[in-house]
Amino acid sequence: MLLRADSLAATHAVATVLAGLARPGDLIALAGEMGAGKTAFAQGFGQALGVTEPITSPTFTLVHSHRCGKITLHHVDLYRLQRTSEVADLALAELAEFAGIVLVEWGDVVAASLGHHLTVRLEFVDGDEGARLIDVVPSGSSWASRWERLSTGLAEWRC
């Protein structure tokens, strides 16, 4: 599903809709070039879940965990990993398994090993500095029962 967010506020709004349908156990791979808006998306997503502390990219610590009510948002950044085999050490599935939602920046690099997940790819729009194209693609069946509600909730931004 291809979307267009014309501003940071619109990117946050898209993330809010997605967060409203996310549930414990979900893995969401955030993809896109450096500066495309992966962390901004994570900030909007986390705020929608009730995270009150600052959400920053965990580039050097690899994982930031934010407790928000009964759910924990695990924000992961794979940028610094040298080998895809290092991803196993992060135990992403286990993080999601226990009342967690996992957002994985640079997740497209290891998407094949994530199992059921949702990929959110953010791209710059040429000639429009604040705008982003956001492509939301499910892998596996975990989002099948929510897809219609997600599509309806994101209709405002569809291309």
Q: Taking the model in full, what pTM does it have?
A: 0.87
User: Locate tokens 């600052």: which residue?
Assistant: 54
Mean pLDDT computed over 104-121 = 81
Of 111, 107, 136, the C-alpha closest to 5 is 136
Work out the pLDDT band at 99, boundaries 50, 70, 90: low
Q: Parallel, antiparallel, or unpaired: how do β-strands 2-5 and 27-31 relate?
A: unpaired
| Architecture of domain 2-157 in this structure | 3-Layer(aba) Sandwich (3.40)
Q: 94: burial class by Cβ within 10 Å (0-12, 13-18, 19+)?
A: exposed
Digit-coded pLDDT (tens) for 46-97: 999 999 999 988 766 677 788 888 888 988 887 665 555 555 555 555 665 6
Q: Which residue has the higher pLDDT, 47 or 112?
A: 47
Spell out the domain ranges in the chain: 2-157
